[in-house]
Amino acid sequence: MSSISATASGVHDAPVVELDRIVRRFGGRAVLDGISLRVERGELFGLLGPSGSGKTTLVKVMTGIDKADEGSVHMLGEPMPKLSMLQRFGYMAQSDALYGELTAKENLVFFASLYGLKGARRSERIHDSMAVVGLLDHLNKPVGAYSGGMKRRLSLAISLLHEPQLLVLDEPTVGIDPVLRQSIWKELAKMREGGTTIILTTHVMDEADKCDRLALIKDGKLTAVGSPAALKAETGSETIEEAFIALGGGIRS
């Protein structure tokens, strides 16, 4: 693994996420194979790796949605999994967990109640989260009538509802058009400036370039961790795509 490590802020308090020697097996095969990683407060942290390398499994283990077979996970200093932590982070899964027969607003109200949001605050948060993803005009439409991209945007809005200090986003911009993608990235940058820690998986190289640090995963192992600039310098690459390939990444199949 690369020895490069850098934090965006230089803050050295407790990490937001700390993974220690994580192993996750499916059918005897180690899909995560001894992963140790720290994500610091306020970082925009990208997970990169070929299809099937273990990124989704890793974010599920991080958030306590899945449980590691070996190793430990701490989030905001708490050992995971822990149910009460659900209110402290926002999670956007790769496949949308939405109720198709309900309207977007009804979906949002349901998730808001899980986060303990009520009354005027709930209305305000629903409005602001849907504004971020450009769906305010579609609040009262049944989600079953949404396009794939609109469902992704609604899932992102749900993850933002309770203004969590940590956002974990699994391929947040897949199926979202370039204009909206840009505006979503602007919002993510704003949140990060406001102190939110953001961990995301991506296959999009210009998104990877916007991260403070990247972790490259291959066959369930970390092959490098560092800032985009450091990873490029380490491999003598001009672009993050070249660095990614040089460090053992691959093109999505």
Ligand X SMILES: Nc1ncnc2c1ncn2[C@@H]1O[C@H](COP(=O)(O)OP(=O)(O)OP(=O)(O)O)[C@@H](O)[C@H]1O
Binding mask 27-46 for ligand X (x = CB under 6 A): ----x---------------
Separation of alpha carbons 216 and 188, rounded Å: 21
Segment interacting with ligand X, rule: CB under 6 A, options 53-61, 85-93, 232-240, 242-250: 53-61
Of residues 76 and 199, the one with the C-beta less far from ligand X:
199
Of residues 32 and 98, the one with the C-beta less far from ligand X:
32
C-alpha pair distances (Å), 3 with each of 40, 51, 157, 244: 17, 24, 36, 16
C-alpha pair distances (Å), 115 with each of 41, 70, 109, 131: 22, 30, 10, 19
User: Residue 195 carries which DSSP code?
Assistant: T
Q: What residues from 117 to 176 belong to the interface with ligand X (CB under 6 A)?
A: none
Contact flag: residue 250 with ligand X (CB under 6 A): no
Min CB(83)–ligand X separation in Å = 21
**Type of residue found at 38:** R
Q: Which residues contact 87 (CB under 8 A, 6 or more apart)?
A: 115, 116, 162, 164
Min CB(14)–ligand X separation in Å = 26
Of residues 34 and 134, the one with the C-beta less far from ligand X:
34
Contact flag: residue 49 with ligand X (CB under 6 A): yes
Of residues 50 and 226, the one with the C-beta less far from ligand X:
50
| Residues present in the chain in total | 253
Of residues 51 and 182, the one with the C-beta less far from ligand X:
51
Q: Minimal CA–CA distance to 153: which of 176, 137, 170?
A: 176
Q: Is there a contact between 82 and 99 (Cβ–Cβ < 8 Å)? A: no
Contact flag: residue 54 with ligand X (CB under 6 A): yes
Which one of 52, 144, 148, 194 is in contact with ligand X (CB under 6 A)? 52
Greatest alpha-carbon span in the chain: 55
Of residues 55 and 162, the one with the C-beta less far from ligand X:
55
Q: Minimal CA–CA distance to 226: which of 71, 66, 3?
A: 3
Contact flag: residue 110 with ligand X (CB under 6 A): no
- What is the DSSP secondary-structure string of 171-200? STTTT--HHHHHHHHHHHHHHHHTT-EEEE
Min CB(165)–ligand X separation in Å = 24
Helices H / strands E in the chain, number of each: 8, 10
Which one of 7, 57, 202, 223 is in contact with ligand X (CB under 6 A)? 57
Contact flag: residue 26 with ligand X (CB under 6 A): yes
Binding site for ligand X (CB under 6 A): 26, 31, 49, 51-57, 94
